[in-house]
Amino acid sequence: MNPKEFSKRRKQLMRMMGAGSVAIIPAAVAQSRNRDVEYPYRQDSDFQYLTGFPEPEAVAVLLPGRKQAEYVLFCRERDPEMEMWNGFRAGQDGACKVFGADDSFPISDIDDILPGMLEGCDRVFYTMGCMPEFDQKVLGWVNQIRSNSRSGSRPPGEFVSLEHLLHDMRLFKSRSEVSAMRKAAKISIEAHKQAMRVCAPGMMEYEVEAEFLHGFRKKGTEPAYTSIVGGGSNACILHYVSNNAELQDGDLLLIDAGAEVECYASDITRTFPVNGKFSSAQRDLYNLVLAAQKAAINKVEVGNHWNEPHLAAVKVITKGLVKLGILKGQPGKLIKEEAYKRFYMHRTGHWLGMDVHDVGDYKLDGEWRVLEPGMVLTVEPGIYIPSGSKGVAKKWWDIGIRIEDDVLVTRKGPDVLTDGLVKEVDEIESLMAGEA
Ligand code: GLY
Ligand code: MN
Ligand code: MN
């Protein structure tokens, strides 16, 4: 992403913070997996959004209106020995020259320098509660100033959570953010298609998952979240990630998998028959979920509120379940009683961006938020009927279906970023038969 974009974001945030305030944004902490082994490092989304700086052990400080430097980056010093073991570090020079900091100091000096920056300022923007160890540091710096108050030091008067301003900014995607999300979608679409092509009875779920890992890594990307690859009854487990069962002839396979590009996620689910042909019960339920998804996508319109796509999906699903004899009663009443929740227990979507379940309020002043251009959300209705479901005919058992696409809100209507991936029954069957 262009460095100018990060600078624009910092300026916008600083304008909103106003003079006399300080924002403190820590980088993600590297996480230990087991002795001497770390998880692959993923930068904190807020920190990444404002800095583009990819290293751990860093803290960004924004001081709007400060003469010497408005953007200060604390980070690791260059260290040839450590860099030989663990790779390149930008150091203070790189922080300024490459990452646009006005000034940079070694992270090891932060306890000596940061309290001086906080002293005398009116307001500190910092999000408490996400990094308990860092919270203690921030409190320690403030207390350090307080303990010097008799020598005239003035601690900050007000603490404000940074997330209100920052997460509202993150909710509206710029052109380059949408472009990263389109790239992530494209890579994911190819991997989903490949999974449909290779899938066959007798394969293991993890063999299909491997198609995603291969597809993502070959394009230099990572999964945005752990892939869900669940055949048959496993498709009814919403967060199934074991992916270690054999795929059975006659079952459906539900795959929820998406790549992450430059820290921007895609989030796609498709459900298809392991043997390439939907049974008639599978087809009926699949077409019902698909109809609900289309109805929900149609509600992704500027001016509609957040819950409208969900209400549309619930309506279609409830009516359809009654028609198929899975729910009994009058649809209006069943919706009121939330009877659909037995088979459709999650919501129809979430914001999507740097985090797969992205930031941004869903309600403002107690009312559902109105959709505006630049917001991106998923639309992902589903129906799940585990075996043993009382009062439900056996032919529906062990069917779990979800269909999920990523949608950008625009003035011209919903822009489905994941549109290139088949979802009609005959399209899926043709692709699996090698005809597409
Ligand atoms: N993949 C996570 C979700 O769909 O919410
Ligand atoms: Mn999702
Ligand atoms: Mn998903």
Contacts of 364 (CB under 8 A, 6+ apart): none
Please report the atom of ligand 1 found closest to the CA of residue 228: 1
Tell me the pLDDT tens digit for each residue of 39-67.
Answer: 999 999 999 999 999 999 999 999 999 98
Same domain, 216 and 121: no
- Residue 186 has a pLDDT of 98
Give pLDDT, residue 68: 87
Residue 360 sits in a domain whose CATH number is 3.90.230.10
238 CA from centroid of ligand 1 (Å): 9
- For residue 149, is pLDDT > 80? no
Report the half-sphere exposure of 88 (CA within 13 A, side-chain side). 6
Place of tokens 């779920």: 205
Which domain, by its residues, includes 57?
Answer: 3-169
C-alpha to C-alpha distance for 228 and 402, rounded to whole angstroms = 11
- In the chain, how long is the greatest CA-to-CA distance? 81
**Percent of the chain predicted with pLDDT > 90:** 95
- Distance CA(31)–CA(40), nearest Å, equals 8
Count of beta carbons in the 10 Å neighbourhood of residue 106 = 15
The reply to whether ligand 1 has any atom less than 6 angstroms from the CB of 356 is yes
Whether residues 132 and 203 share a domain: the answer is no
Task: Provide the pLDDT confidence category of residue 136 given band limits of 50, 70 and 90.
Answer: very high
Q: For residue 378, which ligand has an atom nearest its CA?
A: 2
In this structure, how many other beta carbons lie within 10 angstroms of the beta carbon of residue 151? 6
Which of 129, 146, 169 represents a domain boundary (last residue)? 169
Q: H or E element: which one contains 408? A: strand 405-410
Which amino acid, one-letter code, is at 369?
R
Cα–Cα distance measured from residue 30 to residue 42, given in angstroms and rounded to the nearest whole number: 8
Same domain, 27 and 143: yes
* Residue range 106-133, pLDDT digits in tens: 999 999 999 999 998 999 999 999 999 9
Report the b/e string of 377-411 with b at 16+ CB within 10 A: bbbbbbbbbbeebeebeeebbbbbbbbbbbbbbee
Same structural domain, 163 and 197: no
260 Cβ inside 6 Å of ligand 1 = no
Q: Please indicate, yes or no, whether residues 128 and 202 belong to a single structural domain of this protein.
A: no
Residue closest via CA to ligand 1's atom 5 equals 357
Residue 418: partners with Cβ closer than 8 Å, 6 or more residues away: 185, 188, 189, 266, 268, 405, 406
Say if residue 122 is in the same domain as residue 205: no
Residue 152 has pLDDT above 80, yes or no: yes
Query: Quick check: CB of 238 below 6 Å from ligand 1?
Result: no
Question: Quick one: pLDDT at residue 160?
Answer: 95
pLDDT digits (tens, 9 = 90+) for 351-402: 999 999 999 999 999 999 999 999 999 999 999 999 999 999 999 999 999 9
Confidence of residue 197 (pLDDT cuts 50, 70, 90): very high
Ion ligand 2, residue ranges at CB < 5 A:
267, 378
User: Best substitution site from 270, 378, 379 to test ligand 1's pocket, by max atoms within 8 Å of Cβ?
Assistant: 378
SS3 call for 119: coil
225 lines ligand 1 (CB under 6 A): yes
Identity at 244, one-letter amino acid code = N
Q: How far is the CA of 321 from the centre of ligand 2 (A)?
A: 23
pLDDT of residue 155: 86
CB of 256 closer than 6 A to ligand 1? yes
Catalytic residues: 36, 239, 256, 267, 346, 350, 357, 380, 384, 402, 404
* 188, 192, 212, 225: residue to mutate for ligand 1 pocket, most atoms within 8 A of CB: 225
Q: Are residues 128 and 254 in the same domain?
A: no
**264-265 β-sheet, strand order:** 222-223, 259-261, 264-265
Q: How far apart are CA 257 and CA 250, in angstroms?
A: 22
Contact 74, 53 (CB under 8 A): no
For the stretch 171-196, pLDDT in tens is 999 999 999 999 999 999 999 999 99
Please give the distance, rounded to the nearest whole angstrom, from the Cα atom of residue 268 to the centre of ligand 1: 8
Could you tell me if 223 and 365 lie in one domain? Answer: yes
Q: Rounded to whole angstroms, how far apart are CA atoms 326 and 367? A: 33
Q: What is the CATH number of the domain that holds 72?
A: 3.40.350.10
Please give the distance, rounded to the nearest whole angstrom, from the Cα atom of residue 147 to the centre of ligand 1.
47
Q: How confident is the model at residue 308 (pLDDT cuts 50, 70, 90)?
A: very high
What is the pLDDT of the chain when averaged over all its residues? 97
pLDDT of residue 146: 87
Q: Which of 151, 169, 187 is the last residue of a domain?
A: 169
Do 209 and 307 lie in one domain? The reply is yes
What spacing in Å lies between the alpha carbon of 89 and ligand 2's midpoint?
A: 35
Q: Would the pLDDT of 148 be above 90?
A: no
257 pocket-lining for ligand 1 (C-beta < 6 Å)? no
Q: Are residues 349 and 202 in the same domain?
A: yes
pLDDT classification of 157: cutoffs 50, 70, 90: confident
Which ligand 1 atom sits closest to the C-alpha of 402? 4
Got the DSSP string for 13-68?
Answer: HHHHH-TTEEEEEEPPPP-EEETTEEPPP---HHHHHHH----SS-EEEE-TT-SS
Mutate to test the pocket of ligand 1, among 237, 357, 358, 402 (most ligand atoms within 8 A of CB): 357
Can you give the pLDDT at residue 153? 83
Residue 164's pLDDT band, with cuts at 50, 70 and 90, is very high
Q: Which atom of ligand 1 is nearest to the CA of 357?
A: 5
Return the closest-CA partner of residue 78 out of 104, 39, 50, 52: 104
Cβ–ligand 1 contact at 406 (below 6 Å): no
Nearest to 248 by CA among 282, 273, 228, 229: 273
pLDDT at residue 3 is higher than 80: yes
Cα Rg of the chain (Å, integer): 25
Predicted confidence (pLDDT) per residue in 198-239, tens digit: 999 999 999 999 999 999 999 999 999 999 999 999 999 999
Q: What's the gap in Å between 227 CA and the centre of ligand 2?
A: 11
State if residue 347 touches ligand 1 by the CB under 6 angstroms criterion. no
- Count of beta carbons in the 10 Å neighbourhood of residue 80: 7
**Together in a domain, 278 and 334:** yes
Determine how β-strand 123-125 pairs with β-strand 21-26: parallel
Residue 241: CB within 6 Å of ligand 1?
no
Q: How many domains does the chain have?
A: 2
User: Which of 169, 193, 226 lies at the terminal end of a domain, its last residue?
Assistant: 169
Residue 32, CA atoms < 13 Å, CB-side half-sphere:
3
In angstroms, the Cα distances linking 299 to 46, 235, 307, 415 are 30, 27, 9, 12
If phi > 0 it is left, if psi is from -120 to 50 it is alpha, else beta; for residue 231 that is beta
Q: Which amino acid is at 143?
A: N
Residues 102 and 203 in one domain: no
- Tell me, using a 6 A CB cutoff, whether residue 358 lines ligand 1: no
Report the C-alpha gap between 356 and 134 in whole angstroms.
Answer: 24
- The pLDDT tens digits of the residues spanning 23-40 come to 999 999 999 999 999 999
Cβ–Cβ under 8 Å, residues 196 and 252? no
